[in-house]
């Protein structure tokens, strides 16, 4: 029994990857949603309610943390959810497989590797760093798979830009257009989670999802436009002052200000370790983009 908490891009991909491989899956969301499949049971439960999650995770061999609260909810939503997942994994002697961002590292001046300290001073970075440190201290068998910004059909740069691109309008972005940035395909994150949850050699350590070489936002969206049969995209970056001003009334802009450093300087993730130790590789960029375009809203 594999219990997947969350039905976003990664959670849904994890559930389908397992189900199509013949595994029994229970996907847990607050509203009881998730992908439909004969081997997937969909359960409604609040992952922040330890007793409810304990009931929903009964019999689990692996618990996958694929939840993703709203940015502004991280300081209050993540601690009870993470504690509940640790408790559920411990009660079932299950492995906890955690989907994670790169926020815990904080600002960097070189490509990120798994041995770098979790030195973030931002609110969101400290929340994620503490989650991993608490996991290590818990005694639960666990693995954390860290990814950069998504290539995927929901909540990604591509999803943000596509409506304007399809309408022939200028795309306005909150970060720089021409600095290298790693992008991670959601399907690769799901496959890495599933693979490493089964690998005792991977437990107790963080891993980076195999990702294609870093691209600028301009390079990525230009390739998206070509594959979608659209014209050359017109791209503009909001000035930092405009983003700060928007934060006075827009909640996403207000939260984005804290992590804008990831988009104003090179933000490059090295994923060679997982390739060298387990042979996992990134999906070719064009294949990932075509799949993203098929699923885009």
Each residue's pLDDT tens digit in the chain (297 positions)? 999 999 999 999 999 999 999 999 999 999 999 999 999 999 999 999 999 999 999 999 999 999 999 989 999 999 999 999 999 999 999 999 999 999 999 999 999 999 999 999 999 999 999 999 999 999 999 999 999 999 987 778 999 899 999 999 999 999 999 999 999 999 999 999 999 999 999 999 999 999 999 999 999 999 999 999 999 999 999 988 888 888 778 887 888 889 999 999 999 999 999 999 999 999 999 999 999 999 875
What backbone torsions phi and psi does residue 39 show, to the nearest 5 degrees? -100, 5
- What pLDDT, on a 0 to 100 scale, did the predictor assign at position 246? 80
- What pLDDT, on a 0 to 100 scale, did the predictor assign at position 50? 96
- What pLDDT, on a 0 to 100 scale, did the predictor assign at position 297? 59
Tokens standing for residue 14: 């994890």
What backbone torsions phi and psi does residue 77 show, to the nearest 5 degrees? -85, -40
Rounded Cα distance between 76 and 50, Å, is 15
This prediction has a pTM of: 0.95
- What pLDDT, on a 0 to 100 scale, did the predictor assign at position 250? 83
* Continuous segment of H or E residues that includes residue 241: helix 240-246
Rounded Cα distance between 177 and 22, Å, is 43
Of 3.40.50.720, 3.40.50.2000, 4.10.95.10, 3.90.1150.150, the CATH number of 2-149+184-211+269-283 is 3.40.50.720
CA distances from 214 to 34, 100, 285 (A): 31, 19, 11
Decide: 102 and 42 in contact? Cβ < 8 Å: no
Owner of token pair 């939503």? 77
- What pLDDT, on a 0 to 100 scale, did the predictor assign at position 93? 97
Decide: 97 and 15 in contact? Cβ < 8 Å: no
Decide: 41 and 25 in contact? Cβ < 8 Å: yes
């Amino acid at each position: 029994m594999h219990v997947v908490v969350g039905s976003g891009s990664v959670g849904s991909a994890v559930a389908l990857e397992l189900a199509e491989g013949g595994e029994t899956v229970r996907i847990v969301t607050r509203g009881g949603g998730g992908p439909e499949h004969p081997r997937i049971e969909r359960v409604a439960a609040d992952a922040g309610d330890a007793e409810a999650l304990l009931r929903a995770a009964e019999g689990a061999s692996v618990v996958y943390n694929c939840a993703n609260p709203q940015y502004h909810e991280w300081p209050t939503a993540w601690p009870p959810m993470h504690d509940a997942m640790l408790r559920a994994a411990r009660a079932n002697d299950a492995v906890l497989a955690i989907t994670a961002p790169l926020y815990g590292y904080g600002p960097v001046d070189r490509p990120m590797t798994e041995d770098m300290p979790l030195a973030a001073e931002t609110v969101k970075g400290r929340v994620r760093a503490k989650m991993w440190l608490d996991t290590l201290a818990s005694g639960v068998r666990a693995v954390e798979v860290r990814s950069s910004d998504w290539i995927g059909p929901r909540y990604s740069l591509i999803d943000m830009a596509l409506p304007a691109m399809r309408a022939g309008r200028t795309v306005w972005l909150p970060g720089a257009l021409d600095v290298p940035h790693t992008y991670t395909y959601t399907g690769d994150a799901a496959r890495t989670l599933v693979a490493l949850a089964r690998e005792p050699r991977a437990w107790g350590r963080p891993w980076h999802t195999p990702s294609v070489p870093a691209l600028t936002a301009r390079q990525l969206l230009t390739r998206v436009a070509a594959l979608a049969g659209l014209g050359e995209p017109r791209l503009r970056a909001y000035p930092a002052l405009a983003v700060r001003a928007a934060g006075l009334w827009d909640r996403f802009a207000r939260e984005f200000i804290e992590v804008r450093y990831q988009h104003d300087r090179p933000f490059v993730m090295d994923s060679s370790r997982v390739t060298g130790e387990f042979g996992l590789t990134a999906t070719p960029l064009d294949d990932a983009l075509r799949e993203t375009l098929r699923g885009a809203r």
